[in-house]
């Protein structure tokens, strides 16, 4: 039991003595060797702890790759080509184990560290009221974010539940453990899904009250802020099916004075993805220096493209840089308005000799498709996504945008549709269409209504967030069948594999922990 229960709350890096390591946060050493009451007794200790929590998000198993790439591999928009054998199981909807590793261990480690730090901040000598507010606000935001990632993965989303298979939410832990003895005595059970969402919102409401609109100002997108908490609240309420509150949170984020970022348009959409900091970003995971580069095998850029840089005419014949494991499939390429390719079921094209140009691709007026182009010849050419070239050309050194402006309008459009406010939902849809289609003119009369309006909102979500890890959850929360032709997969929403296995080390020996259905 001690081995089992300690794993869920493994103690993570932090402490005043480690503050100098914060510039390279992935390498912060473990707290196993220092007592939290000492490490968290100074301002520098608290700051080090908060940076340590943010650093969890940088991992390959979090927003460094897996929480974006794996859900899209499981959805209906991607094709794993087998170059490195990564993501093949997920793409076939056979193997969800990486989601288990990604979310459970890291999220509960982060939550444990947050709990310890929240318990310590009130006793730090010399802390100002502004420092106390920022510390608590950022920690509360992060705890809400971690718990949301847990519950949206390991439980059904409230808008679609399979009653006979529903085992509830996840563990809500608000207690910090500083040693393995105390952790070993902790035998948690799963809370209800409703209780999990309530706790997430409790933390976000508190963060909203404590944080300033733009957080840390010039570097605000790298940290929690009131703007980020409102944006996350709109997503959480949308998943919860609380349409009125999802509308309210999105509106508050859209109208917030002195917030972060702004919606891009057809003139700056592509260049926005090439900037070090995306102009739409409200909250991003910040990789401060190139030493935090995840690498050419598993970084987001390396996962989705073989290219060294986008938009170079001779890219088709250059040396492969990344693995390019996960490609857009024929379905999403067609939806993006890209034609002229010779795709059959293998999605590849050849060009021999190297003087022969690639088949010409034709692009529609959807500006989003300009982020897709031919990759290099590595077991065949594929059309690849080039979203993740965000550090001015330095390979695999890319800040990861978690919350951005386009989602606010799409969240609100969906929420307003479900409230019967179709005209307002259509107006928000037109904000996105105007920002993404060159020459788009808002129709004089509403051109989509009823189910067709909802379908178009969801289609725009798919096009907007391709390879940003949202499509799978949109399918999951509406109970829609996942259908792919390559690989040939038909996965109904009732299939137990829609939810991953809770790590067996958390279930074995703990009579209070219930495994997900089917495992």
pLDDT at residue 392, rounded to an integer? 56
Mean pLDDT of 35-49: 86
Which phi-psi region, left, alpha or beta, contains residue 319 (left: φ > 0; alpha: ψ -120 to 50)?
Answer: beta
Query: Which of the four pLDDT bands, split at 50, 70 and 90, describes residue 13?
Result: very low
pLDDT-derived band at 32 (thresholds 50, 70, 90) equals: very low
How sure is the predictor about 380, in pLDDT bands with cuts at 50, 70 and 90? confident
* Residue 378 confidence (pLDDT): 65
How much is the pLDDT for 349?
A: 66
- Quick one: pLDDT band at residue 184, thresholds 50, 70, 90? confident
For residues 166-193, average pLDDT? 93
> DSSP letter string over 119-156?
HHGGG-TT--HHHHHHHHHHHHHHHHHHHHHHHHHHS-
The pLDDT of residue 486: 86
Is residue 385's pLDDT more than 90?
yes
pLDDT surpassing 90 at residue 220: yes
Does residue 315 carry a pLDDT above 70?
Answer: no
Residue 28 pLDDT greater than 90, yes or no: no
* Confidence at residue 201, expressed as pLDDT on a 0 to 100 scale: 98
Confidence class for position 19, pLDDT limits 50, 70, 90:
very low
pLDDT at position 114: 97
Please say if the pLDDT value at position 473 is more than 80. Answer: yes
pLDDT in tens, 258-275: 999 999 999 999 999 999
Tokens standing for 276? 């070090």
CATH class of 1-56+96-207: mainly alpha
Per-residue model confidence as pLDDT tens digits over 136-165: 999 999 999 999 999 999 999 999 999 999
Q: What is the pLDDT of residue 7?
A: 44
Output 120 or 94, whichever has higher pLDDT.
Answer: 120
3-state secondary structure of 110: helix
What does the pLDDT read at residue 481?
98
Give the range with max mean pLDDT: 81-85, 299-303, 452-456.
452-456
> Is the pLDDT assigned to residue 23 strictly greater than 50?
no
Split at pLDDT 50, 70, 90, the class of 405 is very high
Query: What pLDDT is attached to residue 371?
Result: 96
- Give the pLDDT confidence of 478-490 residue by residue, as tens digits: 999 999 988 999 9
Query: If you write DSSP's letter for every residue of 239-273 in order, what string do you get?
Result: HHT-HHHHHHHHHHHHH-TT-S-----TTTHHHHH
Report residue 379's pLDDT band, with 50, 70 and 90 as the boundaries: low
pLDDT tens track for 56-69: 999 999 999 999 99
Helix/strand/coil percent split, the chain, to 5:
50, 5, 45
pLDDT band at residue 398 using 50, 70 and 90 as cut-offs: confident
Summarize the confidence of residues 92-118 as an average pLDDT: 87
State residue 183's pLDDT score. 85
Distance CA 112, CA 218 (A): 29
The token pair that represents 392 in the structure block: 């001015």
Instruction: Read off φ and ψ for residue 338, nearest 5 degrees.
Output: -100, 125
> Across 216-225, 285-294, 380-389, which has the greatest mean pLDDT?
216-225
Q: For residue 400, give the DSSP letter.
A: E
Q: How confident is the model at residue 313 (pLDDT cuts 50, 70, 90)?
A: low
Mean residue pLDDT of the chain comes to: 88
Q: 79 CB contacts (<8 Å, ≥6 apart)?
A: 91, 326, 327, 328, 329, 347, 486, 487
Q: Which long-range contacts (CB under 8 A, 24 or more apart) does 34-37 make?
A: 35/178, 36/116, 36/120, 36/176, 36/178, 37/120, 37/178
pLDDT at res. 320: 81
pLDDT at 190: 98
Q: Could you tell me which of 204, 95, 2, 199 has the C-alpha nearest to residue 519?
A: 95
Contact 74, 68 (CB under 8 A): no
């Amino acid at each position: 039991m001690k081995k089992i229960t300690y794993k869920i709350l493994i103690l993570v890096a932090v402490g005043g003595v480690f503050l100098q390591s914060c510039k390279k946060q992935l390498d912060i050493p473990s707290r196993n060797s220092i007592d939290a009451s000492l490490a968290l007794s100074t301002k520098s200790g608290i700051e080090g702890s908060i940076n340590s929590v943010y650093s969890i998000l940088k991992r390959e198993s979090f927003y460094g790759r897996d929480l974006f790439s794996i859900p899209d591999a499981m959805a209906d928009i991607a094709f794993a080509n087998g170059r490195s054998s990564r993501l093949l199981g997920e793409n076939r909807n056979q193997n969800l184990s990486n989601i288990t590793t990604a979310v459970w261990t890291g999220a509960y480690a982060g939550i444990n560290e947050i709990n310890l730090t929240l318990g310590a901040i009130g006793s730090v000598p010399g802390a100002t009221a502004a420092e106390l507010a920022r510390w608590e606000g950022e920690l509360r935001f992060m705890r809400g974010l971690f718990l949301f990632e847990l519950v949206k993965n390991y439980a059904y989303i409230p808008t679609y539940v399979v009653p006979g298979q529903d085992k509830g939410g996840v563990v809500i832990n608000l207690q910090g453990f500083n040693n393995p003895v105390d952790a070993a005595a902790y035998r948690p059970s799963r809370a209800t899904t409703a209780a999990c969402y309530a706790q997430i919102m409790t933390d976000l409401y508190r963060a909203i009250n404590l944080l300033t609109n733009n957080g840390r100002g010039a570097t605000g997108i790298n940290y929690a802020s009131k703007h980020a908490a409102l944006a996350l609240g709109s997503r959480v309420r949308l998943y919860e099916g609380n349409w009125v509150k999802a509308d309210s949170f999105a509106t508050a984020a859209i109208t917030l004075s002195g917030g972060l970022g702004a919606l891009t348009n057809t003139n700056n959409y592509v260049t926005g993805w090439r900037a070090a900091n995306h102009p739409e970003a409200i909250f991003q995971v910040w990789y401060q220096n190139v030493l935090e580069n995840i690498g050419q095998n598993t970084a987001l850029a390396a996962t989705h493209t073989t290219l060294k840089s986008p938009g170079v005419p001779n890219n088709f014949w250059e040396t492969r840089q990344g693995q390019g494991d996960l490609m857009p499939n024929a379905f999403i390429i067609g939806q993006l308005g890209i034609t002229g390719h010779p795709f059959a079921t293998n999605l590849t094209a050849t060009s021999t000799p190297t003087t022969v140009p690639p088949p010409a691709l034709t692009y529609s007026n959807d500006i989003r498709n300009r982020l897709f182009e031919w990759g290099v010849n590595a077991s065949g050419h594929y059309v690849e996504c080039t979203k993740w070239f965000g550090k001015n050309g330095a390979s695999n050194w890319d800040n990861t945008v978690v919350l951005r402006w386009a989602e606010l309008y799409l969240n609100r459009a969906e929420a307003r549709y479900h409230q019967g406010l179709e005209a307002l939902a259509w107006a928000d849809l037109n904000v996105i269409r105007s920002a993404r289609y060159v020459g788009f003119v808002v129709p004089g009369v509403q051109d989509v209504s009823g189910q067709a309006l909802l379908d178009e909102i969801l289609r725009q979500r798919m096009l907007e967030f391709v390879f940003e890890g949202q499509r799978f959850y949109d399918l999951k929360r509406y109970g829609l069948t996942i259908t792919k032709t390559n690989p040939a997969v038909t996965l109904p929403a009732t299939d137990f594999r829609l939810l991953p296995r809770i790590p067996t080390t958390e279930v074995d020996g703990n009579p209070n922990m219930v495994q997900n259905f089917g495992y």
